[in-house]
């Protein structure tokens, strides 16, 4: 499958833009994932916990491909998409290695 944009004809579409099967809790645009920390009680007892990103599975229309793409994105990833556009975010994430 190739890009619909004639200037980008020779590049392949990143295969990670379609959800296939199980996916980890990682944002496909920003790369945000769960981090560990502590619950701290009033008596200062610390127990391990996880801080998970605010992820949503969303369907975006990509005009360059003329089709819909399903991504698992965080709230910050959605803000980036609104600001830069879906295509620029997909290209940027694939260059950084977040979207494979």
Tell me the per-residue pLDDT of 11-68, one tens digit each, with 9 for 90 and over.
556 665 655 556 689 999 999 999 999 999 999 999 999 999 999 999 999 999 999 9
| Residue 8 per-residue DSSP state | G
Give 99's pLDDT tier (boundaries 50, 70, 90): confident
Residue 91 lies in a domain: yes
Residue 22: domain span: 6-96
Residue 63 lies in a domain: yes
**Exposed, middle or buried: residue 45 (CB in 10 Å: 0-12, 13-18, 19+)?**
exposed
For residue 16, the domain's CATH number is: 2.30.170.40
DSSP 30-51: T----EEEEEE-TT--EEEEEE
Residue 23 lies in a domain: yes
Residue 1 lies in a domain: no
Residue 58 lies in a domain: yes
In the chain, the number of structural domains is 1
């Amino acid at each position: 499958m190739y890009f619909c944009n004639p200037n980008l004809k020779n590049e392949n579409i990143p295969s990670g833009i379609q959800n296939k099967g199980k996916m980890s809790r990682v944002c496909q645009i920003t790369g945000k994932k769960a981090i560990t920390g502590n619950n701290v009680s009033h008596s200062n007892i610390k127990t391990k916990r996880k801080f998970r990103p605010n992820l949503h599975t969303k369907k975006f229309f990509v005009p360059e491909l003329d089709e819909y793409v399903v991504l698992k994105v965080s709230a910050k990833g959605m803000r980036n998409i609104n600001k830069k556009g879906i295509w620029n975010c997909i290209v940027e994430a694939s260059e950084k290695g977040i979207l494979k």
